[in-house]
Copies of this chain bind each other. A is one copy, B any other.
Amino acid sequence: MNNSYNHSLSASSQLTQKSVNRCFDGEQHYYSHESTSTKTPMTFSVYLPDEALAGRRCPAILYLSGLTCNADNVTHKAHFQQKCSELGVIFIAPDTSPRSAGDSDSNDSGNNSHDVPNDERYFVGQGASYYVDTTQAPWAENFNIQSYIVDELYDLLRSEFPIDTIGITGHSMGGHGALLLGFKFPSKFVSVSALSPVCAASESAWGQAAYTEYFGDDKSLWSQADASKVIETVGQQYSSILVDQGAADNFLAEGQLQTSKLQQACEKAKQPLTLRYQAGHDHSYYFIQTVIGDHIEHHWRMAQIS
């Protein structure tokens, strides 16, 4: 059986198929397309279980990656394919920022998420969009990833793949993105979860460095790009959200993640939160693969009752 979902057959498709690999009972695909939001080519991966390849609508999960990553890291190292194959879930991994020519590659050599940065300022610019629409030069020209994710890519995915509902998740900066976009645009998503999220970007050293460049001095924009502050403002949006955090994560100890701020925000917002500190686990893809199955099941369950 090889019922490959070949978009090259569709004359109207805006997508260029880059690769197809069979994986469990489904296929791992990569696509690129010209983005109007970023005015650059953008690449994403999508895992399609056989149900989707046969044209049946499936629940989908949008996974936002962390600093320095592109679609490769999670697609190669998080091992989401087996659970998505079992449950019939589509899994989409976009890039973490627009890329200039010659910088399409991420740091995908190790299994840590961002301990070997491309440069000293790995937390600003390429690979570090924070999933916001920036307002300051030079970023505002291309770094419009909020619009890219919740409008452009969202609509493109719905038109190109047999998607039923969409849930959103992510790791680290991508966990921030999942919480931020999930609570800013609750009509778009049926479920939210996060792994090791940056919970209060406007109060972390990484986020402050980025937001200084992306938003300048307008602190109201910083607050609108801080997941915990947004949750506190908009209140409960989901019956429950799931967050996993490694208890031995050095970025937690450094104050980049501030998980307690998310917990406080959810309490104030009366947003039910399942928060699990995983003993001994760090910030790496070894942690991500350990818990990602539970996150896929969370989104799958929420899709069933939506």
Which A residues fall within an 8 A CB radius of B?
A: 1-2, 21-24, 27-28, 72, 75-77, 79, 81-82, 105, 108-111, 246, 248, 278-282, 284-287, 289-290, 293
Contacts and interface: CB of A to CB of B under 8 A. Distances in A.
How many of these chains are in the complex?
2
A286 to B, nearest CB: 4
A287 B82 contact: no
B79 A82 contact: yes
Contact of A111 (B22, B76, B109, B281): B76
A147 B112 CA distance: 33
Contacts of A2: 248, 279-280
Most buried by B among A1, A77, A105, A293: A77
Contacts of A22: 246, 248, 278-282, 286-287, 290
Contacts of A77: 76-77
Contact of A289 (B27, B82, B246): B82
A275 to B, nearest CB: 18
Contact of A23 (B72, B75, B248, B287): B287
A290 B23 contact: yes
A109 B106 CA distance: 9
Most buried by B among A72, A75, A246, A280: A280
A23 B76 contact: no
A306 to B, nearest CB: 28
Contacts of A111: 21, 72, 75-76
23 contacts: A1-B280, A2-B280, A21-B111, A21-B282, A21-B287, A22-B246, A22-B248, A22-B281, A22-B282, A22-B287, A23-B286, A23-B287, A23-B290, A24-B289, A27-B280, A28-B286, A72-B111, A79-B79, A79-B82, A82-B293, A108-B108, A108-B109, A109-B109
A261 B282 CA distance: 46
Contacts of A289: 23-24, 79, 81-82
B279 A1 contact: yes
